[in-house]
Amino acid sequence: MKKALIAATIVGAAAAGVIVYLTRSKNGMQRLLDGAGATADDAQRYASRHLRKTQKKVNNMIHESTME
């Protein structure tokens, strides 16, 4: 637990340093936000695709169970 807390602290400090650096550079924060938006869009597409596949699998399972 102690090692995880130390690792989380290091990662948080590094992230804070990156954010401070990017806010000082010209348009750095805008690039960061654009990247986050693109990542969120990718995650939404992935989740939607997974949900559709899961829904098809459930429907097939229900159909197979009623056929027996």
Banded pLDDT at 68 (limits 50, 70, 90): low
Q: What is the secondary structure of 32-65 as a DSSP string?
A: HHHHHHHHHHHHHHHHHHHHHHHHHHHHHHHHHH
Contact criterion met (CB below 8 Å) for 22 and 29: yes
pLDDT tens track for 40-62: 888 888 888 888 888 888 888 88
Read off the pLDDT of each residue in 2-12 and give the average, rounded to a whole number. Answer: 85
Residue where the block lists tokens 């056929």: 67
Residue type, 40: A
> Whole-number mean pLDDT of the chain?
82
pLDDT at 6: 86
Give pTM, 2 decimals: 0.43
